[in-house]
Chain A
């Protein structure tokens, strides 16, 4: 997604590195001007070590932040991206890259969050349905009454309905319902 956006914005020399192994060697070979990496990527410590080393060898890769960029870096971190930039790159060339990456990434994670929410709502609905079925059978209730009972129990104990439902279904399984 970010790659696509960068291409549209006219950056053509883009390499996507997916493997954990050999990351540093690959970077040396590519000698990129900018490295964008997901904050969730466990390789970040490895990457920073290689930057620290190459600086010791006087190869000018530096981490992005001079103080004036605080806000754009902060936005990047919020979006889940970390950026490293070759020292001496002009800031006005970097900013659009980073801002574009942030916009794309934000859009992507919004989609993902919505998807996750939808998934967990579905799972909760299922467990509540099963708990209702247990109550209807065991206590001879109709569906609205079973739901009301779950809801009351949730309110009385300060838990969510799905949690109460899950506890009930687990208990039923343990105590030997005939499911």
Chain B
């Protein structure tokens, strides 16, 4: 049996490889999975690039940054399978949430303006709000910045964006080290349950189909073990069916809750899995549409345009260089070709295109696919913006910094 050691961080969106392993789906495809949990993305990345793991649950922008060598010599990574869309929230300390007014929850435009106003006021007093993200190269960072910028505040100057590992968010909010954060589940729910913070926005409200985690391989591994990688992809795709089945949700949550996986209470993990989020201590659950999309609507398909959008934000915030080649390199990390070849003939939905205009779908829309019927749900950005991968340079130039 071919073996894959897969690195992951304790987060709800690590669920697909865990389910593929625990439900015997990998074994059915002739693949065995060993899961390796780490406390930091730097370590997940290092294990992958130095060969201690064969694949990893990884932040999409970090895979791009690693391939392009933004911080260190480049190691080419390949991402043929996405592990989910969105699933993060902006959580503020009780004090700051009270200052922007709890009645604005639900309308991300108004919440954004209120937060931006407060941020500018605090900056002018020389006491900038300190907001945490999980990593420099994370969707959390780019989505938070997108939201703040579109709401009228400069994320580089009006606030201080720092890095805090997700398991420390609750503690950091409680200790007043940070005023707010944008991290994945269950860590926001943990902060809410402890009474340390209030969720004021879900990233799905900011970009309805935001690119999030992916399964990364070294490109070398993908080339050398192509058949085995494809078998693993089929197992993960099957796992997607299980996690999107409401009848199996509780079992999946119980599994994730185990100490060797996420190690948090079942009821907190269930919130993201069921799109029912408790925004503050003592609140009723709020249903947030598309809070975390793990599988449906070909959510696991690596759209190259999503890699390119991420690169546009890297350029916007001076993490990458503005040139055509950068966009091509970012897009090349995503491997829709491998996805299609792995799932051909399985009945899985195989989109015909590899890139699309991001943010263009307002109503569910049927789109072309090689097999299966693909209805794409809304993928809007909250400010109505859209990203055309054929005009990526124009997009960056048009964005306010």
Q: Is the CB of B47 within 8 A of A77?
A: yes
Cα(A52)–Cα(B141), bound, Å: 14
Q: How far is the CA of A136 from the CA of B165 in the complex (A)?
A: 51
| A102 and B401 alpha carbons, distance in the complex (Å) | 44
A47 to B136 Cα, complex, angstroms: 11
Question: Residues of B contacting A46 with CB < 8 Å?
Answer: 162-165
One of A34-42, A109-117, A140-148, A167-175 at the interface: A34-42
Interface-lining segment among B37-45, B271-279, B352-360: B37-45
A90 CB within 8 Å of chain B: no
Query: In the complex, how many angstroms separate the beta carbon of A61 from the nearest chain B beta carbon?
Result: 11
Contact of B50 among A45, A66, A77 (CB under 8 A): A77
When chains A and B are docked, how far (Å) is the Cα of A74 from the Cα of B52? 9
A66 touches B73 (CB 8 A): yes
Q: Smallest distance from the beta carbon of B62 to chain A beta carbons, Å?
A: 10
With A40-B39, A42-B40, A78-B52 as contacts: A65 and B136 at CB distance below 8 Å: no
A22 — nearest CB in chain B belongs to which residue? Answer: B177
A66 to B71, CA, bound (A): 11
Whether A82 contacts B42 by the Cβ 8 Å rule is yes
Q: Could you tell me the distance in whole angstroms from the C-beta of A51 to the nearest C-beta in chain B? A: 8
**Which residue from chain A places its CB closest to the CB of B163 in the assembled complex?**
A49
Are A42's CB and B46's CB within 8 A? no
What residue in chain B is nearest A75 (Cβ atoms)? B50
Q: Which of A49, A52, A67, A82: most chain B CB closer than 10 A?
A: A49
Q: Which of B38, B40, B177, B318 contacts A43 (CB 8 A)?
A: B40
Q: B318 — which chain A residues lie within 8 A by C-beta? A: 56
Q: Is the CB of B43 within 8 A of A43?
A: no
Nearest A residue (CB) for B161: A49
**Complex: how many Å from CA A41 to CA B43?**
9
- Tell me the chain B residues, 19-72 only, with Cβ under 8 Å from chain A: 38-43, 46-47, 50-52, 71-72
Instruction: Please give the distance in Å from B232's CB to the nearest CB on chain A.
Output: 23
Residue A63 at the chain B interface, CB threshold 8 Å: yes
Q: Which residues of A contact B134 (CB under 8 A)?
A: 45
- Residues of A near B46 (CB, < 8 A) are 39, 77, 82
Given contacts A66-B73, A74-B50, A78-B50, contact A44 B43 (CB under 8 A): yes
A41→B39 contact, CB < 8 A: yes
Q: What total of A-B pairs shows CB separation below 8 Å?
A: 63
Is B47's CB under 8 angstroms from A44's CB?
no
Supply 18 further A-B pairs (C-beta < 8 A) apart from A46-B162, A77-B50: A20-B168, A41-B40, A42-B40, A42-B165, A42-B168, A43-B165, A44-B40, A44-B43, A46-B165, A48-B71, A49-B135, A49-B162, A65-B72, A66-B73, A67-B73, A74-B50, A74-B51, A78-B50
Contact A39 B43 (CB under 8 A): yes
In the complex, which residues of chain A have a beta carbon less than 8 angstroms from the beta carbon of B73? 65-67
Find chain A residues with CB under 8 A from B52 CB.
77-78
Q: How far is the CA of A118 from the CA of B216 in the complex (A)?
A: 36
Shortest CB distance A87–B (Å): 12
A56, A65, A78: residue with the most chain B Cβ atoms closer than 10 Å: A65
Q: Report B221 CB to chain A, min CB distance, Å.
A: 15
Asked if A63 and B165 sit within 8 Å, CB to CB, the answer is no
CB-based contact A52/B136 at 8 Å: yes
CA distance A48 to B42 in the complex (A): 8
Of B50, B135, B318, most A-chain CB atoms within 10 Å: B50
Q: Does residue A120 face the partner (Cβ distance < 8 Å to B)?
A: no
Contacts of B164 in A (CB 8 A): 46
Q: Is B167 an interface residue (CB 8 A)?
A: yes
CB atoms of A45 and B72 under 8 A apart: no
A82 partner, pick from B43, B51, B135, B167, beta carbons under 8 A: B43
Asked if A135 is at the interface of the complex by the 8 Å CB criterion, the answer is no
- Chain A 8-64 interface residues, beta-carbon cutoff 8 Å to B: 20-21, 39-49, 52, 56, 63
A118 to B134, CA, bound (A): 37
Nearest-neighbour CB distance to chain B for A88, whole angstroms, equals 16
* A7 vs B177: C-alpha distance when bound (angstroms): 35
> Which of chain A's residues has its CB closest to B70's CB?
A52
Residues in chain B near residue A63, CB distance under 8 A: 71-72
Nearest CB on B from A82, distance (A): 6
Q: A73 in the interface, Cβ–Cβ < 8 Å?
A: yes
Q: Specify which chain B residues have a CB less than 8 angstroms from the CB of A39 in the assembled complex.
A: 38, 43, 46-47
How many whole Å from B142's CB to the nearest CB in chain A?
A: 14
Interface string of B124-143 (1 = CB under 8 A from A): 00000000001110000000
Alpha-carbon separation in the docked complex, A94 to B306 (Å): 40
**What residues on A are CB-neighbors of B168 within 8 Å?**
20, 42
What is the distance, in angstroms, from A12's C-beta to the closest C-beta of chain B? 29
Indicate if the CB atoms of A45 and B163 lie closer than 8 Å: yes
A78–B43 Cα gap in the complex (Å)? 11
Contact of B39 among A42, A49, A74 (CB under 8 A): A42
How many angstroms between the C-alpha atoms of A85 and B349 in the bound complex? Answer: 47
Cα distance, A44 to B45, chains bound together (Å): 11
